Amino acid sequence: MPTAPLIACLLSSPPAVGDAQAPSERVEIAPVANADADAGTDDDSPAAASSERADPNTSPDPAPAEPSSDDAKPKRGWQAELFVDVAWGFNSNSPDNHVYRGMYTNPRTNELAVNNVGAFIRHRARAGEPWIFELGFHAGAAVDALTSGEPIPGGDDGKFAGAEVFKHIALGNVGVEVPKAKTVFAAGVFEGPMGIGSFWTRNNWNYTTTWESNLVPYYLAGAKIVQPLPSGFELSGWVVNGFQSYADLNSAPSGLVGLSWSRDPTPVSSPRSGTTAVTLATHVYFGPEGTSLAAKDWLVYSDTWAIYDFDDHFSIAAVWDLGVDRAGRANELQSLYTGGAVFARGTVFESKHAKLDLAVRPEASLDRDGRFFGVDQWLISGTGTASLSLYDHLMLRAEYRFDHSTATEGFFYQHELGSDDDPGLATDQHTVFLALTGWWDVWF
């Protein structure tokens, strides 16, 4: 993988009955579903949704829960979805290039930006139809930022296609679930399972994503196998092109293994509502990210997170990562990255068609040798977000975020200083985002 920053985009509690939502590989931080809006849902609706992986908060993209009996499974397995994400961001450093350095999901500031528009269609495995299908396309400033580090096949001589075409493929995979064993085999382009944070911001508690989330892969190209185990455990294995890459980085693939555990949700007592749930997961990525295939030159990256849903109205979560990579260094020294975040989300107002969530998130990341962010530094941040969800199709957000870098020459762009090598970059940055996200989906 190129040594340029690989900064790509939380946690979700189980959505309530009636939320037609799609599964997500990554842990997502999204506002919880509006329980009052669930009344009147028929038996054919994607009820009691839960994500493909355990999610810390309510994700707008969980899969419908499967009843215990195959005969009782949902009769509708297809979902179509459209969405748009628009935001205006104020940056206290007023960079002339308008770039929020190191951020993929919200890369533009001091302007009105269309960060992402997309369309998806999905098919869930169900009784009589054990096959899986996902196809999605997206475009916008965030998509351009996300794929900016993609290698070009053929180097400078590469022409015509490459990332300029593939970057618009948000998802594109097919698979099958073995009915008895529930083993899943699939291949294609997937959302990455590591980290806390979805690239599609409406899935998250906060509008901007953490430094940790912008580091681990938002997407992976390859094949995977997932096997549920007794007592709430699940084991997964992946073979992929690289650490977020459509193109082949070299002649050898990389690998990823994951293990998660979820405790069955437990109903809470009045006056609280919903369920209490706990989920833990860990992933390890390993493989060559450069021209050398020797094991000593591999990137090895571990990702561990935990989620606790107190009930439908309050959740907390935490993530911490550790990665080492020699990255072709002549001095034989390995680079080191470590970092993570703590999340908390609570619902402060709820009615039939409106819900207001507040979320806070402190975080810290150390890129000791500048392997991922390009600068040897600590990045320390704090974020607060208010999210107003309306009619299950619209979300209005206001967010304040403070970032601090310990880099000697600074890290954040300011005024006319818009190059990574400019002396006198800013060490602090204040941002305010006002965002509007709309989506429409249908099951059939």
What confidence tens digit (pLDDT) does each residue in 363-403 have? 999 999 898 899 999 999 999 999 999 999 999 999 999 99
Q: Rg of the chain's alpha carbons, rounded to an integer?
A: 21
Instruction: Find, among 143, 103, 146, 88, the residue nearest to 119 by Cα.
Output: 143
Q: Which residue has the higher pLDDT, 175 or 18?
A: 175
pLDDT higher at 108 or 272: 108
- Contact indicator for 203, 55 with CB cutoff of 8 Å: no
pLDDT at 48: 31
Binned at pLDDT 50, 70 and 90, residue 249 comes out as confident
Structural domains in the chain, CATH included, are 35-443 (2.40.160.10)
Residue matched to tokens 């053929």: 154
Segment 253-271 shows an average pLDDT of 94
DSSP for residue 108: B
Give the pLDDT band of residue 195 (cuts 50, 70, 90). Answer: very high
| Least confident segment among 116-125, 160-169, 386-395 | 160-169
* Residue 30 confidence (pLDDT): 52
pLDDT band, residue 7 (cuts 50/70/90): very low
Cα gap 235→263, rounded to integer Å: 15
For 405, counting Cβ atoms within 10 Å of its Cβ (0-12 exposed, 13-18 middle, 19+ buried), the class is buried
Q: What is the pLDDT of residue 21?
A: 39
- For residue 290, the model assigns a pLDDT of 77
User: Is pLDDT larger for residue 44 or for residue 247?
Assistant: 247
State both tokens at 40: 């009147």
pLDDT digits (tens, 9 = 90+) for 202-228: 999 999 999 999 999 999 999 999 999
pLDDT in tens, 81-114: 999 999 999 999 999 999 999 999 999 999 999 9
Residue count of the chain: 444
Classify residue 68 as exposed, middle or buried by CB count within 10 Å of its CB (0-12, 13-18, 19+). exposed
Q: Is the pLDDT of residue 142 over 50?
A: yes
Contact 38, 17 (CB under 8 A): yes
pTM of the model: 0.83
pLDDT (0 to 100) of residue 178 = 96
Whole-number percent of the chain with pLDDT over 90:
68
Task: Average the pLDDT over each of 18-22, 138-142, 299-303, 436-440 and give the range with the smallest value.
Answer: 18-22
Which has the higher per-residue pLDDT, 80 or 12?
80
pLDDT of 256 reads: 98
If one compares 18 and 403, the residue with the highest pLDDT of the two is 403
Contact 242, 289 (CB under 8 A): yes
The three-class DSSP label of residue 178 is coil
What percent of the chain has pLDDT above 70? 82
For 142, counting Cβ atoms within 10 Å of its Cβ (0-12 exposed, 13-18 middle, 19+ buried), the class is buried
Q: What is the arithmetic mean of pLDDT over 15-36?
A: 46
pLDDT at 188: 97
**pLDDT score of 332:** 61
